[in-house]
Structure 1
């Protein structure tokens, strides 16, 4: 992973090289804290050791009991699904991957009706084993399999903690299962059993993903000038402090669109504390040049745009044409056009005084993805250290979970009372 901060300098809002020089002393102290947390396997910091502690052999052993499936369905939500979905979407495979992460009844029914359930592995993921949305969707999927004459116990992989409903279910039925790593919040679990089981089922090189993560680990140092991850984390923090409260992440590769979703959870849930944080926005180049770029260039000066791209990719030539005004496209390629769009957008933002950062990987493959995911996690942790927020907790999310559970009769939670106290101003 490579990071270029040049277009974030002297912008509005913006930073200077002097800003970064001053901040580098704080980065060194933050790195010492992060390194100590990693060494002591502290909660949250343990996520940054996953490239070394994850056990690919255990993952392979769990999935080897399944014949090569036609499809994999991950039943999870948030961090229990987005890491796996990012890898599955980015990497090509003849095993289709789907995610059931919302409890929209129309979507759930349509998806289950279309899946070849007899040749689908259901990968159900919940650390607690009690996540309401995940367990509800799993019960619906299990019933759909039974209705289709499929023995769900032959087609289910469980990834969960040491106790809870899912662990009891796996033990009772002898289901293949994987442990969720201790001390790792879900949104930081992409490089663990949580994110890698689907990759293994699809036939991807899990070891290469972890090797990319180790590349990211090796690049961490006490200076932002020597670590791409820390350069990104420090710059985004400094820009947010100066008013860039929105971070629009814009990959220039269709295969990285789900990566932007993964990033949005990582950034929002980790850093949105105590009135601080940076709101992640998701965009896709070049598509959203035609829908969002107008706002980024000419709207409120409160945004950073993060442009992400692979520098190598397969290409498709553009045929020659004799149409007036289009001849310049002939002899070029779709990849060449996309690169030109990338650089034009970058330049247009700079010309409008909008800070933007370039993040590049070599190509969209297992190793580069592992490094990218790790790098963004490390950047997030560094940002949290610099902002003095509790990066690895999510109290606002827990409040909503308790309210919903109380409404459904799952316990006596005072948070549910707030629902009945809703203020109304209705217009019918």
Structure 2
């Protein structure tokens, strides 16, 4: 991964980081890296995430799914138990991966009605095996298979912890079962079985994904000047300190649109604590140049825009035309146009005194994807260290889970009582 922070410097943008402040920031990075490296070496909770390129076994994943014959995969999970897998398959151009990560009955009904269940594997993912949304959807999916006369046990792969209802189900029904890695929060688990099973089922090169991540891992040093991942984490944190409280992530590739959603969870759930954290916003280049860019360029100075692209890609020429005013397009390709849009967005932000950071990978393939995923995780961990927050916990999320369980009658929790007692002011 290559990171260009030139348009995040104070000489270009407001807020911006002064060049002479980079060395002071680098000293913070060096101290943070010592903590991160020690956590990785000891496989401490959370820091173990950065060991996944080495500890994930692609052979083990392939062995577990070897007897599951499918042309499509339906992942049933929520949050990190689904976003990473969808990010991987989308980036690799896979169109036969579907996800149930919400409990919207209309969408669930429509999706199950159009899937060929005889050719679709089910990939159910929950660390605890008790996640209400995931288990509810899985029960609905299982019933749909039974109603269609399809044996769901022949097509189901379970990824879960060592204990819990899903683990017991897998053991009782002799289902393939893979482990959610110990010490790894779900949002950091894309480079494990949690994120790689659908790609493996559909025949993609998960070994190359991990190889790209390993290469990025080897590039972690104690300096932002030498590590692109740390450069990104450090500079976005420095901008947040200076008032850039929103991070708009804008990939210039349709296949990376789910990546922006994955990044949003990673950044928000990890860093949104103690009154700190950037709010991630999702955009897509060049589409959102015609909408959101208006705000990013002409709105408040409270944002940094992260522009992402691949340096190489397959291309398509634009047919020539004799239509007046459009002839210039006939000498170009769609890739040329997309690059021009990228460069124009970057330049327009700089001209408006708004900060941006450029991220580039060589190609959107397995290797490049592994690099991008790992580098963004490392950047997030560094940002958490610099901010002094508990990067790997999510207490606010757990509050909502407890409230929902209580409202459904699983337990009479304090959170559920707070929901029932909340003040209302209805206007109809």
- TM-score by length of structure 1 reads 0.99
Instruction: Give the match for residue 49 of structure 1.
Output: 51
Say if 2:45 is the partner of 1:80.
Answer: no
Provide the rounded CA distance (Å) in 1 between the counterparts of 2:241 and 2:330.
46
Partners of 2:93 and 2:255 within 8 A in 1: no
Provide the rounded CA distance (Å) in 2 between the counterparts of 1:293 and 1:154.
48
Q: 2:40 aligns with which of 38, 41, 60?
A: 38
SS at match of 1:81: helix
Q: CA deviation at 1:92?
A: 2.5
SS at match of 2:112: helix
Superposed, 1:147-296 pairs within 5 Å as 147-296=147-296
Provide the rounded CA distance (Å) in 2 between the counterparts of 1:336 and 1:171.
53
> Deviations for 1:279-329, whole angstroms, at most 9, x for unmatched residues?
000000000001100000111110000000001011111011111111111
Provide the rounded CA distance (Å) in 2 between the counterparts of 1:19 and 1:282.
29
Partners of 1:26 and 1:386 within 8 A in 2: yes
SS at match of 2:98: strand
SS at match of 1:157: strand
SS at match of 2:378: helix
Provide the rounded CA distance (Å) in 2 between the counterparts of 1:307 and 1:45.
27
> Deviations for 1:211-247, whole angstroms, at most 9, x for unmatched residues?
0110111110010000000000000000000000000
Superposed, 1:124-135 pairs within 5 Å as 124-135=124-135
> Deviations for 1:344-373, whole angstroms, at most 9, x for unmatched residues?
000000000110000000011001000100
Provide the rounded CA distance (Å) in 2 between the counterparts of 1:191 and 1:169.
25
Provide the rounded CA distance (Å) in 2 between the counterparts of 1:133 and 1:191.
23
Provide the rounded CA distance (Å) in 1 between the counterparts of 2:405 and 2:20.
50
Provide the rounded CA distance (Å) in 2 between the counterparts of 1:149 and 1:19.
66
Provide the rounded CA distance (Å) in 2 between the counterparts of 1:426 and 1:92.
46
> Deviations for 1:12-67, whole angstroms, at most 9, x for unmatched residues?
11111112111111100100100000000000000000000101111000111112
Q: Give the unaligned 5+ runs of structure 1.
A: none
SS at match of 1:348: helix
Partners of 1:28 and 1:223 within 8 A in 2: yes
Aligned pairs, number: 426
Provide the rounded CA distance (Å) in 1 between the counterparts of 2:23 and 2:218.
22
Dislocated runs of 4+, deviation >2 Å: none
Partners of 2:402 and 2:415 within 8 A in 1: yes
Provide the rounded CA distance (Å) in 1 between the counterparts of 2:270 and 2:217.
20
Partners of 1:85 and 1:99 within 8 A in 2: yes
- TM-score by length of structure 2 reads 0.99
SS at match of 2:125: strand
Instruction: Give the match for residue 64 of structure 1.
Output: 66
Say if 2:28 is the partner of 1:26.
Answer: yes
Provide the rounded CA distance (Å) in 1 between the counterparts of 2:264 and 2:20.
29
Q: CA deviation at 1:420?
A: 1.4
Provide the rounded CA distance (Å) in 2 between the counterparts of 1:426 and 1:212.
53
Q: Give the unaligned 5+ runs of structure 2.
A: none
Provide the rounded CA distance (Å) in 2 between the counterparts of 1:412 and 1:2.
51
Partners of 2:309 and 2:361 within 8 A in 1: yes
SS at match of 2:427: coil
SS at match of 1:330: helix
Provide the rounded CA distance (Å) in 2 between the counterparts of 1:275 and 1:34.
23
